[in-house]
Amino acid sequence: MNRRHFLRTGAAGLSLTALTNRLPAGYTRLKIGAPDWNLQLEAKPASVELAKSVGFDGVQISLGHSSDPKSPPAHLPVGDSDLFERFLAESRKNSFPIASTCVEILHRNYLKNDPLGKKWVAESIPLTRKLGARVILLPFFGKGALQTQAEMDYVGDFLKEIGPEAEKTGVILGLENTISAEDNARILDHAQSKAVLVYYDVGNSFHNGFDIYKEIRWLGKDRICEFHLKDNPHLLGQGKIDFEKVVEAIADIGFGGWAQLETVAPSGDVKKDMKTNLDYIRGLLAKR
């Protein structure tokens, strides 16, 4: 039976109408979360309930760092049994997922040149899995930014070494940085692991002069593990980034994971501004 014949039949027409009525409006494959540091509750279990109360689908949490940069902790702070159990308890109580984690301490122990950075990444793999999350954000900013080919190769060598452990555990190591999509792709090729992907931050890439709408499509869904959406210090849609085009690019590549709103609160009211940004993005998704 061809499509034309199928649509002519009354029963088929009713079935098609019923199916259409059940389909949700908009692009629903993208889940929207919030980083705990933007909720001003970094590495604090209370971030779970706050993220849910705003209306997010999940929360991204920092795995913590020492308050004294000269005295690093023995282990990642969220790995402490008490804090870890409190995070799990909040997630269960609120029926709310921990979407991903961030090895925040890499802002101090740079993965590009500090052996402690390797230790933290290794610790983050089983810890993230136990928290029920799948993506680990590895940041490269400030003095830890990747600036030379030698630094990129050094990181690529380590990721090639640690990649099999991440694969075995079932988590993804996501690279968030200030370099181009092409340079990130070269690191991925160097690492040779399906557990090493790009953590694409539209704000960072845009403000470093890259064509984010082109880069998202060029990388595609198979090389991006998660997104940060932001245009700080502005509310989304009030700065220079065209988020309609960002959402269009994400939908065009068929990405179906998480996007975290790493947005500041220009009004000073975190809950209000987070809700404004969330409603804005969900409004754009509804148009797709």
Sequence letter at residue 100? S
User: What pLDDT, on the 0 to 100 scale, is given for residue 73?
Assistant: 92
Per-residue pLDDT tens for 163-199? Answer: 999 999 999 999 999 999 999 999 999 999 999 999 9
| Beta carbons within 8 Å of 101's beta carbon, 6+ residues apart | 60, 61, 62, 63, 78, 124, 127, 128, 131, 133, 135, 136, 137
pLDDT for the residue numbered 161: 98
Average pLDDT (215-223) is 98
**Whether pLDDT at 246 is above 70:** yes
Q: Where does the pLDDT of residue 18 fall: very low under 50, low under 70, confident under 90, or very high at 90 and above?
A: very low
Q: Which of 259-275 are b and which e, b meaning 16 or more Cβ less than 10 Å from the residue's Cβ? A: bbbbbbbeeeebeebbe
Q: What is the pLDDT of residue 12?
A: 40
CA distance 130 to 128: 5
- Of all residues in the chain, the percent with pLDDT exceeding 70 is 91
Residue 23: what pLDDT?
A: 42
- Identify whether the C-beta of residue 140 lies closer than 8 Å to the C-beta of residue 99: no
Average pLDDT of the residues in 135-158: 98
267-278 mean pLDDT: 98
Q: What is the mean pLDDT of the chain?
A: 92
The encoded tokens of residue 260 equal 């975290």
Residue 104, H or E segment: none
Rounded Cα distance between 225 and 216, Å, is 11
pLDDT at 20: 39
Q: Which percentage of the chain shows pLDDT scores above 90?
A: 88
Comparison of pLDDT for 62 and 26, the residue scoring more? 62
- Separation of alpha carbons 179 and 174, rounded Å: 14
**Lowest-confidence region among 23-37, 97-111, 168-182:** 23-37
37-55 confidence digits (pLDDT tens): 999 999 999 999 999 999 9
What is the pLDDT confidence band of residue 70, given thresholds at 50, 70 and 90?
confident
Contacts of 173 (CB under 8 A, 6+ apart): 121, 136, 138, 159, 162, 163, 166, 195, 196, 197
Distance separating alpha carbons of residues 113 and 91, to the nearest angstrom = 35
Domains (ranges, CATH) in the chain?
A: 27-286 (3.20.20.150)
Token pair recorded at residue 29: 């494959």
- Mean pLDDT value of segment 63-79: 89
